Amino acid sequence: MTAERPGGGRVTVAHLTTVDSSLRFLLHPQLTAVRDRGGRALGISAPGPDAARLQAEGIDHVPLTSSTRSMNVLADLRAAVELWRVLRRERPDVLHTHNPKPGLYGRVVGRLAGVPVVVNTCHGLYYTEADPWLKRTLLLVLEGIAARFSDAELVQSEEDLRRLVRTRAYPPRRTRLLGNGIDLRRFRPDVLDEEGRARLRRELGARDDQVVVGMVGRLVAEKGLLELFEAARLLDDRYLVVVAGPDDPEKPDALDRATIRDAEARGVRFLGMREDVDRLYGAMDLFVLPSWREGFPRAAMEAAASGLPVIATDVRGCRQVVDDGVTGLLVPVRDPVALAAAIRALGEDEERRRAMGKAAVERALAHFDERRVVEIVLGTYREVAARKGLDDLAAALADPAP
């Protein structure tokens, strides 16, 4: 990709998300891919502490002050109007939106604002099979309406893609499986040597004979934390459960202080937001993700690439990460008894954990490379530009000559 237009001027690719942490932690490789090829990478989101980090790395950020994670229709309408003004001022060549909410209003506003290429990524359908029929139908209808304003739809989960195409929410010819990826150079089994592993486990308060059961995720109920806390109560003191992740107070299912204090009383250790999760995986013996709903869980991919067996719920997204019985175990959703049984099954069998961890690394190397995701994203931009007759933009987005 040579991000200089033949007629002059740099190509601008804008990514729209709800919060700046998504730009920094989830979309960073896609933003830097544009920057490193001489283009202008632009993030649009609510302002926050990660915006300054992005700016320091040469990634521009424009605040969308009305953007919020909470369910607030008036705030979303204000955000849509604000986005219109941003797009008319910044004039990006590509607008890449990300669901849930920015993917809905962003596609519509991007098209109406005259952005040449509008692409959306579906990170996961925001319902579970247990949700009422009306809720599931409404969400699919809204996705279908928004998809009519985009040029391409990228879907992380294969199961989500099949459903979106089958229900005609997404046009098949403009929909592509994206998958998900992580930095396999950072997440690998040898991040810690034996001495480093022992030292970090001591910092976590783990005895040498304890099995460290880890989870990384936001402190919200839909991540299955309540079930994990109940499972921890069913385990004996051979097991230490540690949870790393930030509070998410804007979410209606955010855990309150009383719930966290009760879990701590049961022996669960809360580590807060950590930037060294690659090291944390090295101190764990197995990883759990008892979510009610997932798109394509990043933390589970990171744990697998780090050589950990993963116990996850049998829901779409998790099924793409965990090969049941090979790289980990799948358990029923909202079932703490089954979760505790799975933890004991692996906790009591070190050889099985080792074999599953090895298989997990092999699966990660074959399927979870973020570089492949970046290639698909940039290729989609080029294909759309060529299809729409935007020859200068397609040329600017072309692969560099060898």
> Quick one: three-class SS letters along 96-154?
EEECCHHHHHHHHHHHHCCCCEEEEEECCCCCCCCCCHHHHHHHHHHHHHHHCCCCEEE
Q: Is residue 77 part of a domain?
A: yes
Over pLDDT 70: what percentage of the chain?
96
The answer to whether residues 277 and 175 belong to one domain is no
The answer to whether residues 347 and 200 belong to one domain is yes
Q: Is residue 402 part of a domain?
A: no
Give the side-chain half-sphere CA count within 13 A for 192. Answer: 19
The answer to whether residues 230 and 102 belong to one domain is no
The answer to whether residues 349 and 200 belong to one domain is yes
Count of Cβ atoms closer than 10 Å to residue 167 Cβ:
14
Q: Is residue 186 part of a domain?
A: no
The answer to whether residues 203 and 215 belong to one domain is yes
Range of the domain at 104: 12-181+369-396
Q: Is residue 281 part of a domain?
A: yes
Residue-wise pLDDT for 133-176, tens only, equals 888 899 999 999 999 999 999 999 999 999 999 999 999 999 99
Q: Please check the confidence at residue 178 and state whether its pLDDT lies above 60.
A: yes
Q: Please check the confidence at residue 10 and state whether its pLDDT lies above 90.
A: no
Count of Cβ atoms closer than 10 Å to residue 244 Cβ:
21
What pLDDT, on a 0 to 100 scale, did the predictor assign at position 2? 54
What pLDDT, on a 0 to 100 scale, did the predictor assign at position 105? 96
The answer to whether residues 300 and 202 belong to one domain is yes
Q: Which of 108-112, 236-240, 248-252 has the lowest mean pLDDT?
A: 248-252
More reliable by pLDDT, 74 or 33: 33
Q: If you average pLDDT over every residue of the chain, what do you get?
A: 94
Q: How far apart are CA 147 and CA 82, in angstroms?
A: 21
Q: Is residue 249 part of a domain?
A: yes
Q: Is residue 3 part of a domain?
A: no
CATH of the domain at 168: 3.40.50.2000
The answer to whether residues 59 and 114 belong to one domain is yes
Query: Is 385 within 8 Å of 322 (Cβ atoms)?
Result: no
The answer to whether residues 285 and 275 belong to one domain is yes
Q: How far apart are CA 131 and CA 147, in angstroms?
A: 23
The answer to whether residues 50 and 164 belong to one domain is yes
Residue-wise pLDDT for 261-287, tens only, equals 999 999 999 999 999 999 999 999 999
Residues in the chain: 402
Total number of domains in the chain: 2
Q: How far apart are CA 308 and CA 290, in angstroms?
A: 16
The answer to whether residues 325 and 385 belong to one domain is no
Count of Cβ atoms closer than 10 Å to residue 74 Cβ:
8
The answer to whether residues 221 and 311 belong to one domain is yes
Query: Is 281 within 8 Å of 301 (Cβ atoms)?
Result: no
The answer to whether residues 108 and 252 belong to one domain is no
Q: Is residue 7 part of a domain?
A: no
Query: Is 94 within 8 Å of 4 (Cβ atoms)?
Result: no
Query: Is 220 within 8 Å of 253 (Cβ atoms)?
Result: yes
Over pLDDT 90: what percentage of the chain?
86
